Amino acid sequence: MSRRKGALPLKTNGSAIGRSKEDNNLIEALKLYEAKTYKKSLKLVDTILKKNSQHIDSLALKGLNLYCTGQKEDAASYVEKAITRIESSGASPIGCHILGIYMRNEKRYSEAAKWFQSSLDNGSTNKQIYRDLATLYSQEHDYKNLLKSRKLYWEEFMGYRANWTSLAIAHELNGQLDESANVLTKFEELAKGKLGESEAYEHNECLMYKNDVLYKAAGVDHEKLRAVLKHLDEIETDVFDKYGWLERRAAVFMKLNQKVDASKVYRTLIKRNPDNFKYYRLLEISLGVQRDAKLRLALYKKLESFYPRAEPPKFIPLTFIEDDTLFAKSLSSYILPQLKRGVPATFNNIKPLYKKNVSRYSAIAEEIVLKYFDSISPKETPIPYVWTCYFLCQHFLYLKSFQKAREYIELALAHTPTLVELYILKARVLKHTGLLAEAAETINEGRKLDLQDRFINTKTVKYYLRANMVEKAVEVVSIFTKNEGAANGVMDLHLMEASWFITEQAEAYFRLYIENKRLLHDEKSAEVPEDEDSQETHARRIRDLTYETKKFGGLALKRWDSISKFYKQFEDDQLDFHSYCMRKGVPRAYLEMYQWGKTVYTLPMFIRAMKGAARMYFILNDEMELSGRETNDDTIEEPVSAKKGNKKSKKEAAAIKKRIEEDKKTVAAYEKDEDPLGEAFISSKTPLQDFYSQFYGSFSKEATESSKDYILDFEYHLRCGKLALCVGAMSKYAEIYGKKDSILGAMTLCLLDRAKLSKKIDEVTKKIAIKGLERLLPELPLNQLDEGSFDWLSIFPQEFEGPSLDALLLIHRSTVEILSAENIKQQIIEKLREEEPAIQSSVLNYQLN
């Protein structure tokens, strides 16, 4: 679907008699604009403006034409002029309409709506504007105005089903369910007997949609629910979505407490798709057996005999059998046939059990599989042998017995070195033991077995990025991307919105940033050598490391910013669907998309990028705070050598320049990327605001009480100096995790630190925060706040659990000065001993600086 540039018929308002010449010319220019001949239109507009430089409509049209030819800055200035003129001398409907289109192109939807509206208010007779308005109000979630415009448009064009459907949806969004159903019914009556075969699908969707509305309106009212059932019966022959139809029927029966009828429907559903776990669960509920293990077992035995090839009736009993002997027997008859057939996913199939109760289930599974493993020969039954090794490796990996996991995967690889799954698993084991580079090389060995396997290709890329081998990763990923006109696939991956790659790359760049910064710090604090040659090397090294640090930091932020742009794009992309889905007649899918659209900024990938960016922006902020006290020596100096005019230094400067150019080419994210290295991001003087505008603002707007991240919220407000909001985040956190939670203790210490030592925050704010804290945690020894010698870490065993590793890390990265930083560091290292190697090295390398 192409994005419209606003090609819609601007009514020319009858004949040209009684118009100024300018207006006539403008209408010509508009026609040219609509024919997408922007340059010609621009020319004509210019001739009008030559005579009358204040002609509003022409100013606006010039802006729009400039926008469409890519001259966005000039466009903005003309639009600005037009708007100022309108403010002083009033507007014409055409001018307003043009401005509306411009604003919509600029994605300033509420302003666009405003202009479209004033076009109508100023007497435009172009009814199409209502549809555009409706689209914009949908995008802005302004339901009241949406309904208004949908209604007006519908009144004008009743001959289209789309308009009826959209009106019904608008009613529903305003909570007017009965009206919604009425609209749909009225159309059905009008269309009765007139629908052709090509409309059958749309009809089916609309019928089901009406049933949705009726069902929603019914609530728990039995009479209304029976009416829903009746409606279902009426539409049965016209509905194609049999699953939806049956599911609804069962749901109504459940609500009516006609459980036997419901169970019959669920059995029908299971018959249609015996692999859907959901139907089995619902069947149990409708039969009322979900708490009776004996009956349940009998039920599943029966179902298994009906559907011998289906997975759920075999698996579900494993989740509730209490008796160990019986369980072992059932588990064995579940696992062993799969191993014998060589099912790669055997372990993943039983992983839900491990998650429930790892000690019980893993012990029994281990016994069964080891016994089986001893009974088979690698030569006679090679396939079961290798997949059993694979299973055992995953089993021990889950239990974090890395040594044993390693042994089994090596056995498997020695046995069948041509199975790509084995390399992936071995790489995973290596990753967990902290050997990231070895893991990457291992998975790359597997990748070489089959170069056209995209799955292993992307996995390999991910492992290379985890090992900070960015160049290698880009090289491998570029095998599958379009690389025309680019040095590698990075640009294409941006175009394709490949979040997985961009995020991983951002994180790799972030780690490289930390590493280089540490090296730079070491080099700077090293003694300046005596002889001139080493002095030069020393200086060069500092210069190189400074460049690299800034480059990696900038790239990390730039990549994260791209993720935030992708999600903005997801939000904007909805715009087209507000009318498209109506025309296609898919109201149910539309509404699902529409509700989803309200949550794009709370989706996992966005949150991951947000948290990554938060770490980086917080570091930048904290460094700036510190350098307020000291001098900031991290700014990048241009590579100017001490001895100017020196031939050698000139040559060096040229080499550096060349290298920067080279870097820019390989990392460019977009065509005509103006800041490929992300220098603007890393040099920002307002990291917290940047973080808010790229991520946190959108996230906060959409996050609900339960999806909000209160630790992040706390850390953000702590740095903003908004201590009262910090206490707010703490109390929300305490509601979820309890008042003894270790992290809450860490937050308390961070807050007290700021309240005691911060010079930036005024006394009133501090007092309010302390009061709030007192109310939240009355047991705290707050009277010690004015004492110098109190050991604040002692509040942990007394008031809170822990401190846990995460709590200590929170304290560490918040530079809490009422505690000894060295002591915290020691405690973190102590705590790390309990963690697996991968976490140890990640914390040591990237969080303890």
- Least Å distance, CB 417 to other proteins, is 5
Binding of other proteins by 342 (CB under 8 A): yes
Whichever of 45 and 389 has its CB closer to other proteins, that residue is 389
Out of 452, 525, 704, 783, name the contact with other proteins by CB under 8 A.
Answer: 452
- Least Å distance, CB 612 to other proteins, is 34
Nearest to 559 by CA among 604, 493, 622: 493
The tokens describing 691, both together, are: 């973080």
Segment interacting with other proteins, rule: CB under 8 A, options 7-15, 185-193, 216-224, 377-385: 377-385
Segment interacting with other proteins, rule: CB under 8 A, options 316-324, 412-420, 701-709, 822-830: 412-420
Whichever of 416 and 841 has its CB closer to other proteins, that residue is 416
Out of 128, 258, 332, 416, name the contact with other proteins by CB under 8 A.
Answer: 416
Binding of other proteins by 682 (CB under 8 A): no
- Least Å distance, CB 500 to other proteins, is 23
Binding of other proteins by 427 (CB under 8 A): no
The tokens describing 731, both together, are: 């109390």
Binding of other proteins by 379 (CB under 8 A): yes
Whichever of 382 and 721 has its CB closer to other proteins, that residue is 382
Nearest to 708 by CA among 723, 690, 730: 730
- Least Å distance, CB 441 to other proteins, is 14
Segment interacting with other proteins, rule: CB under 8 A, options 267-275, 312-320, 378-386, 499-507: 378-386
Residues 6+ apart with CB under 8 A from 20: none
Question: Could you give the CA distance from residue 578 to residue 170 in angstroms, rounded to a whole number?
Answer: 11
State the distance between the two ends of the chain, measured CA to CA, in whole angstroms.
50
Whichever of 387 and 501 has its CB closer to other proteins, that residue is 387
Residues 556-615 that bind other proteins (CB under 8 A): none
- Least Å distance, CB 377 to other proteins, is 9
Whichever of 342 and 721 has its CB closer to other proteins, that residue is 342
3-state SS class at 678: coil
Binding of other proteins by 419 (CB under 8 A): yes
Whichever of 444 and 684 has its CB closer to other proteins, that residue is 444
Binding of other proteins by 382 (CB under 8 A): yes
Whichever of 416 and 700 has its CB closer to other proteins, that residue is 416
Residues 485-524 that bind other proteins (CB under 8 A): none
**What single string gives the DSSP state of each residue in 487-527?**
SSTHHHHHHTT-HHHHHHHHHHHHHHHHHHHHHHHHHHHSP
**Residue 436 class from Cβ within 10 Å (0-12 exposed, 13-18 middle, 19+ buried)?**
buried
| Residue 149 near residue 179, CB atoms below 8 Å | no
- Least Å distance, CB 445 to other proteins, is 8
Whichever of 383 and 640 has its CB closer to other proteins, that residue is 383
**What single string gives the DSSP state of each residue in 614-633?**
HHHHHHHHHHHHHHHHS---
Out of 260, 449, 655, 724, name the contact with other proteins by CB under 8 A.
Answer: 449
The tokens describing 532, both together, are: 């001139």
Count of chain residues binding other proteins (CB under 8 A): 16
3-state SS class at 330: helix
Whichever of 340 and 538 has its CB closer to other proteins, that residue is 340
Whichever of 307 and 480 has its CB closer to other proteins, that residue is 480
Please state the φ and ψ torsions of residue 483, each to the nearest 5 degrees: -115, 20
Whichever of 210 and 426 has its CB closer to other proteins, that residue is 426
Out of 190, 383, 736, 821, name the contact with other proteins by CB under 8 A.
Answer: 383
The tokens describing 367, both together, are: 């016994």
Question: Could you give the CA distance from residue 165 to residue 228 in angstroms, rounded to a whole number?
Answer: 19
- Least Å distance, CB 346 to other proteins, is 16
Segment interacting with other proteins, rule: CB under 8 A, options 14-22, 442-450, 675-683, 801-809: 442-450
- Least Å distance, CB 337 to other proteins, is 16
- Least Å distance, CB 510 to other proteins, is 33
Helix axes 420-432, 436-447, angle to 10 degrees: 170
Residues 705-734 that bind other proteins (CB under 8 A): none
At 78, which helix (H) or strand (E)?
Answer: helix 72-89
Whichever of 313 and 384 has its CB closer to other proteins, that residue is 384
Whichever of 53 and 418 has its CB closer to other proteins, that residue is 418
- Least Å distance, CB 437 to other proteins, is 21
Whichever of 214 and 419 has its CB closer to other proteins, that residue is 419
Segment interacting with other proteins, rule: CB under 8 A, options 98-106, 145-153, 298-306, 443-451: 443-451
- Least Å distance, CB 823 to other proteins, is 53
| Residue 97 near residue 129, CB atoms below 8 Å | yes
- Least Å distance, CB 405 to other proteins, is 21
| Residue 773 near residue 712, CB atoms below 8 Å | no
Whichever of 416 and 649 has its CB closer to other proteins, that residue is 416
Task: Please report the sign of the dihedral spanned by the C-alpha atoms of residue 696, residue 699, residue 702, residue 703.
Answer: negative
Binding of other proteins by 345 (CB under 8 A): no
| Residue 702 near residue 598, CB atoms below 8 Å | yes
| Residue 253 near residue 217, CB atoms below 8 Å | no
| Residue 271 near residue 313, CB atoms below 8 Å | no
Residue 819: CA atoms inside 13 Å, Cβ hemisphere, count? 28
Binding of other proteins by 418 (CB under 8 A): yes
CA 440 to chain centre: 26
Residues 6+ apart with CB under 8 A from 647: none
Nearest to 691 by CA among 578, 796, 614, 588: 614
3-state SS class at 714: helix
Binding of other proteins by 378 (CB under 8 A): yes
| Residue 512 near residue 562, CB atoms below 8 Å | no
- Least Å distance, CB 309 to other proteins, is 18
Segment interacting with other proteins, rule: CB under 8 A, options 54-62, 95-103, 414-422, 830-838: 414-422
Binding of other proteins by 417 (CB under 8 A): yes
Residue 675, by phi and psi: left (phi above 0), alpha (psi -120 to 50) or beta? beta
Nearest to 337 by CA among 304, 312, 306, 369: 369
Question: Could you give the CA distance from residue 9 to residue 124 in angstroms, rounded to a whole number?
Answer: 12
- Quick note: the x/- pattern for other proteins over 297-336, rule CB under 8 A, is ----------------------------------------
| Residue 389 near residue 408, CB atoms below 8 Å | yes
Segment interacting with other proteins, rule: CB under 8 A, options 330-338, 375-383, 593-601, 719-727: 375-383
**What single string gives the DSSP state of each residue in 805-830?**
HHHHHHHHHTT-TTS-HHHHHHHHHH
At 570, which helix (H) or strand (E)?
Answer: helix 532-573
Out of 16, 200, 451, 526, name the contact with other proteins by CB under 8 A.
Answer: 451
Question: Could you give the CA distance from residue 65 to residue 197 in angstroms, rounded to a whole number?
Answer: 43
Whichever of 379 and 629 has its CB closer to other proteins, that residue is 379
Question: Could you give the CA distance from residue 227 to residue 219 in angstroms, rounded to a whole number?
Answer: 12
Binding of other proteins by 415 (CB under 8 A): yes
Binding of other proteins by 450 (CB under 8 A): yes
Binding of other proteins by 339 (CB under 8 A): no
Residues 6+ apart with CB under 8 A from 597: 570, 571, 574
Whichever of 247 and 445 has its CB closer to other proteins, that residue is 445
| Residue 365 near residue 331, CB atoms below 8 Å | yes
Binding of other proteins by 343 (CB under 8 A): no
Q: What are the residues binding other proteins (CB under 8 A)?
A: 342, 378-379, 382-383, 385, 415-419, 448-452
